Structure formats: C-alpha cells, structure tokens
Amino acid sequence: MSERLQPGDVAPAFTLPDADGTEVSLSDHKGRKVIVYFYPAALTPGCTKQACDFTDNLELLAGAGYEVIGISPDKPEKLAKFRDKESLKVTLLADQDKQVLESYGAFGEKKNYGKTYMGVIRSTIVVDEEGKVERALYNVRATGHVAKIIKDLGI
C-alpha cells in the first residue's frame, strides 16, 4: 500500500493526458493552488455527483485562487464522454497505469461487503503555490465533499 501524503510534503510531480489527450503537468500550475481529487471511475453515480459539485463550485474556487484537477484510471476517451455528457468544467486526467494514484496514496486496499480488493481510494489533496501538500483528505465521500472543502478552506 502506498504512503499517504501529509501536510508539508512535496506533492509528487505528474504529467498525464487529459480528456483530449493533451499532456497536463502539476508543474504547469506552479504559483497557483490546486485541488487534486482522485475518483474511481467516470460515468458512475458517486463520481458524477462529485465532478458536478466541483464544476458547480468552480467559479467560487477559482475566485479564491484554486484550480481543480480530477484524476481516475479511465482512458482519455471515457473522460471526454464523461465531460461532455455532464458538461464538466474541471480538468480530468487519465492515470491508466495508476502510478500517480499510488504516489498520492490514493490507490490501495479497500473493503466492500466483506471483500478486500485493490482500488482507488477517493481522496482530495490540496496543493499550495509552492507545490507542497496543504491538506490531504482520504476516504472522502462523494456527496457533500466539495461543500466541506469550501468550508475547511474558508472560502
């Protein structure tokens, strides 16, 4: 199981394709705050709710200086479908080999109905302008999570 990040840690660098296949790097956002959230699968009810919540609050978050990036193990084509179907405005990135998920501690052992398996741990990491972890939230719920982040960040 990968190590969970702690506030003050340097956020692991990444470069991943977005829904259109364009490479996006964390370093592209240096000097700006970034909310990086990890979700299991595009086009599923919980992940759709979470992505829509981020999209609905994007203006508020951007106004407070935050950019939002969602990362899942989906293919870019599926992310494009997800974005278009739900009119999402957040940047969605594909981490098919799960290396970024693992480096952020967002992939590991999960339990569901008594079964243990490896999967995406729904997580949100807030990265400051210097590229350091400001907050690291693991095992978050899809519903109500964005409102909690906004409240916690004092926006």
Task: Tell me the C-alpha distance between 46 and 40, whole Å.
Answer: 9
For the question of residue 52 being annotated catalytic, the response is no
Task: Tell me the C-alpha distance between 34 and 41, whole Å.
Answer: 21
Element (H, E) at 47: helix 45-56
Q: Which of 16, 47, 71, 140 is the catalytic position?
A: 47
Write b or e for each residue in 134-152: b if 16 or more Cβ atoms lie within 10 A of its Cβ, otherwise e. bbbbbebebeebbeebbee
How far is C-alpha 99 from the chain's CA centre?
14
Q: Can you tell me whether residue 110 is helix, strand or coil?
A: strand
Task: Tell me the C-alpha distance between 26 and 149, whole Å.
Answer: 20
Active site positions, annotated? 47
